[in-house]
A and B are shown apart, each in its own frame.
With several copies, the nearest count.
Chain A
Amino acid sequence: MASFFYFLRESFTGFSRNLSTALGSIITIFLSLLIIGIFMIGGYVVDNVASSLESEVSITAFVSDDASEADIDTVESYIRGLEGVQSVSFTTKDQALENFRQTSNSDIIDTLDGQNPLPASIDVELSDPQMVEQVASQIESNTTFQQICDEPDNPAESLKYGQQTVERLFTLTNYVRYISMALVALLIFIALVFINNTIRLAILARRKEIAIMRLVGASNGFIRGPFLMEGALHAVIGAALAVGVLELLRYLVLPKLQTALMFLNFDIGPTAFLFIYVMLAVSGLIIGLIGSAFAMRRYLKV
């Protein structure tokens, strides 16, 4: 324990003596962690977007104009009981026309002369978008639904859930995830290389010092101590700086981005941020320690 304090003291004095080297490695760690942090936040945003896209996957079950309310209620409660279903709602013919009018900008509605060709529908929101096919086939096999559905000859035709769209969406969001994961991994790797390089150079600059310590009878552990401490100190300072800048980004830049880019969801919870920060601190520390230890190895062969 005494030597722990020796190491701590040494690393602080080493710090102030080799200020420019120290600054160099702190800046490297800081920037590396900053990039990683930004990309982790970016990853959360992509994830948000992907899951909001996925959550838009819903099933619409068209109901014939002359279905009785009782039957509709039966079907609705049946669907509500299915696994993977989040909520069920009913859209009347009028609402359907109104929705269509709003989402489509073609003039076709104007040409209908008061007719309403659109059927009423039961709208099913799914809690797990991946279960869409299963839920759809269960609805389809429900006998009451088969009676009240818009096209009784072929109940499957009355169920719309855009199989293709769903599949495309999944491949898309998965791809986006993979690419951003690959990018984050690449950046983490690059940051590791940078930090390792920096530490190696810093230790290279002090190889003579290390050699002298060894000649005076210092054991490898004793020599390694202050250097490891110094690496850890740099990592902690670098991580603190990175967290500070990320906090600034979080409170100053993210809100602006959010108002500007309404279609992206920058709403990342505080636990996510905490997770990111802890990750940064821990990985910075690990990188600093392992980097120092590794870089020193070749100067400690006795």
Chain B
Amino acid sequence: MTYDMSQGMPAYSARQATSQLSAALPELDIDDIPQSYGLPVITFDHVTKIYPAQPNKPALDDISLEIFAGEFVFLIGHSGSGKSTFIRMLIREIKPTSGTIKVADEDLTTMRNWRVPYLRRNIGCVFQDFKLLPNKTVFENVAFALEVIGKSRHVIKTQVPEVLRLVGLQDKLNKRPDQLSGGEQQRVSIARAIVNRPPLLICDEPTGNLDPQTSRGIMDLLERINRTGTTVLVATHDREMVDNMRRRVIALDRGVLTQDRERGVYRVNG
């Protein structure tokens, strides 16, 4: 294959990238491959979400589950089955209609408004629609996640280019989002989510706009990040990826939890 890595996917050897990231990632040893019986990072307890605009069809219906520290979980389901709703509740963009959600022992349903930014700084989130700041360059978009938590300009100047190189955007630093292709925007969103090394990483459809090769590169990256102890939750439609990686799979169907199994495959109905 004559494909030049530096274009489609970041030019890193797995070894090199891992050591770079590991310097940045949470305090778990790299070799310490996490077990599912760690502490629960995410707890859903009979959670139901009914959007006011759609009162008689719950977007999520009585969901109870636990996700443990260090897990790598796929969230699958048909279009409109509630995956993004699940994720939006985790970062408290919305509140559940009933039930309780806990993230790292904090109850999101009773959390005070002013604490929400601190919650979000501990959750890296790749949004399905990217949510890049249109008036900032790629560099500034990623740097923003660091500025928000008060990192010094020196730290920003070194970490941002590094993480952009990891997602293969080293030569797009000064472009604005509307000067990027769809897949490049998606990778900026991924870079922003991982740049401040959050203990919890949530990705909503992180490879929907990426070709298979770049997707595989991103997935490898997520897996390596997971291996450093970060809990990773990925909502996806990519059957190939789910089937190949064989991790825990949670399936939703019209808001109902239909499947939750270790080493699962892409199949929505139990």
Contacts and interface: CB of A to CB of B under 8 A. Distances in A.
Interface stretch (A49-57, A89-97, A106-114, A211-219): A211-219
A256 interface: no
Given A6-B147, A302-B113, A215 B132 contact: no
A301 interface: yes
B135 A217 contact: no
Interface string B129-143: 001111100000000
A20 interface: no
B166 interface: no
A302 B144 contact: no
B113 A301 contact: yes
Given A3-B150, A218-B148, A222-B148, A213 B114 contact: no
B247 interface: no
Given A3-B150, A217-B120, A302-B116, A212 B133 contact: yes
A9 to B, nearest CB: 10
18 contacts: A2-B150, A3-B150, A18-B135, A209-B133, A209-B135, A213-B133, A213-B144, A213-B148, A215-B125, A215-B127, A217-B117, A217-B119, A217-B121, A217-B145, A217-B149, A219-B114, A219-B117, A302-B113
A213 B143 CA distance: 12
B93 interface: yes
Contacts of B134: 208-209
Interface of A: 2-3, 6, 14, 17-18, 208-209, 212-220, 222, 301-302
Contacts of B117: 214, 217-220, 222
Tell which of A2, A6, A219 has the most Cβ of chain B within 10 Å.
A219
For chain B, the bracket of interface size reads 20 to 34
B247 to A, nearest CB: 26
Contacts of A2: 150, 152
Nearest to A211: B131
A238 B130 CA distance: 37
Interface string B149-171: 11010000000000000000000
Nearest to A5: B153
B37 interface: no
Nearest to B149: A217
Contacts of B147: 6
A75 to B, nearest CB: 78
B192 A216 contact: yes
Contacts of A212: 131-133
A1 to B, nearest CB: 12
A219 B148 CA distance: 8
Interface of B: 91-93, 113-114, 116-121, 123, 125, 127, 131-135, 144-145, 147-150, 152, 192
Contacts of A213: 133, 144, 148
A176 to B, nearest CB: 50
Contacts of B93: 215
Contacts of B192: 216
Contacts of A17: 135
A2 B153 CA distance: 10
Contacts of B149: 217
B146 to A, nearest CB: 10
Name which of B92, B144, B192 has the most chain A CB atoms within 10 A of its CB.
B144
Given A215-B91, A216-B148, A217-B148, A14 B118 contact: no
Given A212-B133, A215-B125, A215-B127, 14 more contacts: A2-B150, A18-B135, A209-B133, A209-B135, A213-B133, A215-B131, A216-B145, A216-B148, A217-B117, A217-B123, A218-B148, A219-B117, A220-B114, A301-B113
A2 B133 CA distance: 22
Contacts of B150: 2-3
Contacts of B133: 209, 212-213
Contacts of B132: 212
B245 to A, nearest CB: 27
Contacts of A216: 120, 131, 144-145, 148, 192
A143 to B, nearest CB: 81
A260 B102 CA distance: 71
A220 B112 CA distance: 13
A169 B119 CA distance: 69
A127 to B, nearest CB: 60
B121 to A, nearest CB: 4
A18 B119 CA distance: 31
